[in-house]
Structure 1
């Protein structure tokens, strides 16, 4: 009898098992697909800058005077504003082209015994359009890294181009006339900034080197070689990405 009951139960289980399994829902296995890492992509940007400046050079050269070289004793002070367009690679490297309008007043030399020049302080008024091609490297601080919307960062850069100068002097003696010249120019930059995403702000130093500032049309022509314009400069960039 016991054997009969056991056989009956086994037969029932064999018949009911597949039916119960058929009634249960089927859930396919979940396959985890990792996110695709596209990296940091490059982007174009527009930029605008404004700066205060101080200009200095070693001496001024007067070819018609005796002696011909006079030490510059007074700094000139002024400002610059500019704009540009550039491209950042997403790796920290970026390049741009900039155009700046630069104004500086009162860099001066004290003339004594420089006939036919009148004795006294002669000061320079400079207006210059500076066109530069620049390259920079942006770097993050510590473990923060750097990228789009990358927070605080530092940068270094360099540029080269041309300066289109318009100059006139003020001082004792005959009134000067405006003169113009074109000169090679170069710059070195360093600073800090903050990346907000589409907007990037930075403040830093730019040392602008103007190879020659000259007025060859004046009654007493003159030139200044190796002028340095030291700037504290703020910049905003807008990314297109």
Structure 2
């Protein structure tokens, strides 16, 4: 998992999602999860190594204890072949607590997307962004946020299911999440360029003038 994924909500907390009595509606059979919704991601260690056809890997993975993770499904999902047994999905891990800086990765706490409810005001949150809201039930965890850098590309089965929608973002906030993640990727890119330029200028300052002239020739 990306080091930027801290405070990820795991299986010790996900029962709150499953215990919520009311749902927006029971949709018709569809390929779950749907874009814009929140889901519980479960990793199957044995199925993950099945393609290797390696008995040792299968035996070792069977001993692993897997946790569940609360994730957000981007509104814009990739096209896929419904006849294929599996498909890829990009997910954002839901994190809880105060966002942190990761200087080595050029990520700072402002590159985060808060989720309602928050115990602090917009001006007190590192992102200074309005929290995204649910169109259905209130989100059951306080002080959570999404990050463009706490993501995973996962495999899920192409199975039509009738899956109750418990938490889904407002349509406008689904678009906001997509735009803000793109903004944060660009902010990190620019930050990396500035740091690279600063290191290059620092390097030039410590090189003796005679050597700089030689390198320039």
Q: Give TM-score scaled by structure 2 length.
A: 0.22
Q: Which has the higher contact order (CA 8 A, sep 6+)?
A: 2
Q: Which of these two proteins has the greater Rg computed from alpha carbons?
A: 1
Q: Give TM-score scaled by structure 1 length.
A: 0.20
